[in-house]
Structure 1
């Protein structure tokens, strides 16, 4: 009996320490993003990761993070490789690296299909996590590259969720494009009203993504629990 209880405890402890989410953060650095707007994105991402609510979940759920930058059809770069958040020191280190990372590309087109395919390939090297998610953020619609719908279908077949962060100027054209063509059936879109709103939007988005895992145990109450796919 004691041995059985001990085995059950070890299984439960192993499950508790298992990685819940592998999250690829994908940033648009195409020609429409100027130097100041890139800085707002990098600073906003770092601030979101340092948010106490997010940092707590990252550590508790052993979340694995990576950051990539993308623009034209042949321009994708893994800026920060997969790192599992095993303690608050690692969260702080990763946030600092995100804030300090140099811009990967300049003066190039917008090709989200190739960016998504590149992101999907990176999961070959990701830790074994319960859920796999790609964040695609951008401030424009495609002007180069392949058909994004095909890349989205490849993500769905692989069991990888794709969410979007649409950075709008006026109207909702980019938001509608992300809802219609980019996010998977279990995904959603968050809208930023310009790059200056990026920090708020990325914080909300990451909280909403992580809450989909922890809310099963009731750990995150409120509106994050009842999120609407593609909404």
Structure 2
């Protein structure tokens, strides 16, 4: 089951205090392996995959950076951190654009409290902002998958957190990459950015949230937090990170949006089609 989470409806701190959420089970072969081998264990191995394609304007890129940095040091995030079995997570952060363009900003770091959270947030903010051409969500997924094998800390869950403001238009089909990740026990969540008017020049599409729901996210409990207002940008990032770190899902307020047995509501090759129609290649 996949879910769409409304930012306005999900008041994470209140939900956590009031019992409006349910915990996702931290089970499975990887968790059992980690425990049986007595390896170091974190609650989640979290890959933050951040879109820096040219369709993102400089203001959006700056707000996006600030949003992740502020979310990681927020009271809600630190509360969620301590709600897990180990009270710590492993996180890595990279930026992506074309299928061959991914830049690792922060290698794997363990966050176990305010001090380590501050260090990661500072590292995010000090890196110069960049932009690049094309949009390859599939390339981001393929880049993210082996990062889990490079991390010495075994997590009870493995999550790729993808933000972006347009459909895949470069590299392999996004659904193929998604399915390969899910087959490896990885959950993919999405943050579709829909905070500006549609523009032909930037290859925007309507219903980007539906595209993410049906074509990008996957795995048990996967969800989307769409951003439809610029002033909700940072709140959305915080909401998504808190849910991912705590392994929580809003129960009554979430809307089940898709399953794997029916056709997607949006053509999962729409980005490739727009590019082909426009540029003929």
SS state of the match for residue 203, structure 1?
helix
How many angstroms does 1:211 deviate by? 3.0
What is the TM-score normalised by the length of structure 1? 0.82
Task: Return the match for 2:209 from 156, 175, 187.
Answer: 175
Matches within 5 A, 1:110-121: 110-121=135-146
- Once the two structures are superposed, the pairs formed by residues 52-131 of structure 1 within 5 Å of their partners are 52-58=75-81, 61-103=87-129, 105-126=130-151, 127-131=153-157
Question: In 2 relative to 1, CA 68–107 (structure 1 residues): closer, same or farther, beyond 3 Å?
Answer: closer
Structure with the larger RCO, 1 or 2 (CA within 8 Å, 6+ apart): 2
1:177-196 per-position Cα deviation (integer Å, ceiling 9, x unaligned) = 10011000421100112444
Tell me, in whole angstroms, the C-alpha distance in 2 between the residues paired with 1:62 and 1:185: 22
Shift in CA distance, 230/117, structure 1 to aligned 2, threshold 3 Å: farther
Q: What 5-or-longer segments of structure 1 have no aligned partner?
A: 1-10, 214-222
Q: Residue 133 of structure 1 aligns with which residue?
A: 159
Q: How many residues align?
A: 208
1:70-119 residue CA offsets vs partner (Å, 9 max, x unmatched): 0011101111011011332111110111122223x534000110111101
Question: Which protein has the bigger helix share?
Answer: 1
Residue 3 of structure 1: aligned partner: none
Pick from 201, 208, 217 the counterpart of residue 236 of structure 2: 201
Higher mean alpha-carbon deviation, 53-62 vs 17-26, is at 53-62
Matches within 5 A, 1:27-38: 27-38=50-61
Separation (CA, whole Å) in 2 of partners of 1:203 and 1:172: 24
Distance 1:145 1:108 in 2: 13
Distance in structure 2 (CA, Å) of the matches to 1:199 and 1:133? 20
2:98–2:132 Cα contact (<8 Å) kept: no
User: What is the SS of the residue equivalent to 1:106?
Assistant: coil
The answer to whether structure 1 residue 224 and structure 2 residue 250 are counterparts is yes
The verdict on how the C-alpha distance between 1:134 and 1:228 changes in structure 2, with shifts beyond 3 A counting, is: farther
- CA drift of 1:230 comes to 5.4
Equivalent residue, structure 2, for 1:21:
44
What TM-score comes out, normalization by structure 2 length? Answer: 0.68
1:211 paired with 2:236, answer no
Q: Distance in 1 between matches of 2:217 and 2:224?
A: 7
2: distance between equivalents of 1:28 and 1:209?
19
Moved more, 82-91 or 41-50: 82-91
Instruction: Find the partner of 2:187 among 154, 161, 172.
Output: 161
CA distance in 2, matches of 1:164, 1:53: 20
Per-residue deviation, 1:212: 2.2
Equivalent pair of 2:54/2:132 in contact (CA under 8 Å):
yes
> Structure 1 residues 225 and 98, CA, compared in 2 at 3 Å: closer, same or farther?
farther
